């Protein structure tokens, strides 16, 4: 089994306990990270009517909930919200939530969308699970309209070690695998998470990849002691 298929299979296995584990492990803070990303993106885009928001690696559909909710708060009309994920287990949970969105099976590097059809593409805590990352960034560029926005929320690798990074690393490497494994009965999956962050990019490295993939980075901001980083980039 290749690496990408193995990652998808792992998410299939933990799908039923994924939401509970996420809330417990992030103390619910991930909700505020998602909300801020959606609000900022709408403010940058500045339009009151959108054809399509595509959420890639949508998992159980959390980001789709926030796109819909915050659009309503800001009185923005969105014709379609589509969540895309390669894991059927995750999509089945998303479909059971009665979210105002459609859900399709697909990989980040091969999206089931037309050229220049999306106003916004988002990917939350999924980019580090994409093996062919550059291909995926180019694919996001393909489906976005000219001037469309890409929103990334991710756990990036910290450039330098400091006191805060040591606390984060202790939590990620010791506490998270234990609690996540306990809730999901899958210790391997939650040991994978800290390793995937360690093997991922720093904020600066991802900014460079975005520039090379046809994007202008509008904002790259760390939240909660830089545990989570938000990137907003415009297709140019």
Residues 58-91: tens digit of each pLDDT: 999 999 999 999 999 999 999 999 999 999 999 9
Check residue 65 and give its pLDDT: 97
At residue 130 the predicted structure's pLDDT band, cuts being 50, 70 and 90, is very high
Distance CA 213, CA 209 (A): 6
At residue 224 the predicted structure's pLDDT band, cuts being 50, 70 and 90, is confident
Architecture of domain 3-159+202-235: 3-Layer(aba) Sandwich (3.40)
More confident residue, 25 or 220: 220
- Residue 81 to residues 71, 103, 170, Cα–Cα distance (Å): 11, 9, 37
Contact between 232 and 218 (Cβ < 8 Å): yes
Residue with tokens 């994978």: 192
Residues 16-59: tens digit of each pLDDT: 877 777 766 667 788 899 999 999 999 999 999 999 999 999 99
What the block records as the tokens of 120 is: 């916004």
What average pLDDT does the segment 195-214 reach? 88
Check residue 25 and give its pLDDT: 61
Check residue 37 and give its pLDDT: 97
Query: Domain coordinates of the chain in residue numbers?
Result: 3-159+202-235
- Kindly tell me if the per-residue pLDDT of 196 is higher than 80: no
Q: Structure pTM?
A: 0.89
- Kindly tell me if the per-residue pLDDT of 10 is higher than 90: no
Check residue 26 and give its pLDDT: 67
Contact between 231 and 152 (Cβ < 8 Å): yes
Residue with tokens 């999924």: 126
What the block records as the tokens of 57 is: 């690696």
More confident residue, 109 or 159: 109
More confident residue, 179 or 51: 51
């Amino acid at each position: 089994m290749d690496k990408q298929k193995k990652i998808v299979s792992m998410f299939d296995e933990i799908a039923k306990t994924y939401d509970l584990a996420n809330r417990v492990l992030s103390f619910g803070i991930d909700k505020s990270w998602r909300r801020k990303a959606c609000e900022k993106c709408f403010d940058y885009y500045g339009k009151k009517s959108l054809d399509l928001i595509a959420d890639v690696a949508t998992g159980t559909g959390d980001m789709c909930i926030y796109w819909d909710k915050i659009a309503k708060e800001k009185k923005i009309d969105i014709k379609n919200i589509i969540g895309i994920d390669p894991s059927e287990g995750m999509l089945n949970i998303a479909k059971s939530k009665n979210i105002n969105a459609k859900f399709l099976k697909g990989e980040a590097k091969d999206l089931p969308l037309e050229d220049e059809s999306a106003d916004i593409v988002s990917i939350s805590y999924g980019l580090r699970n994409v093996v062919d990352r550059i291909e995926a960034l180019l694919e996001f560029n393909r489906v976005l309209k000219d001037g469309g926005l890409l929103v990334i929320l991710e756990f990036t690798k910290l450039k330098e070690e400091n006191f805060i990074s040591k606390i984060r690393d202790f939590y990620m490497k010791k506490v998270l695998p234990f609690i996540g494994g306990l809730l999901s009965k899958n210790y391997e999956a939650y040991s994978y998470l800290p390793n995937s962050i360690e093997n991922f990019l720093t904020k600066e490295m991802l900014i460079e990849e975005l520039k090379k993939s046809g994007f202008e980075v509008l904002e790259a901001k760390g939240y909660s002691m830089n545990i989570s980083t938000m990137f907003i980039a415009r297709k140019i």
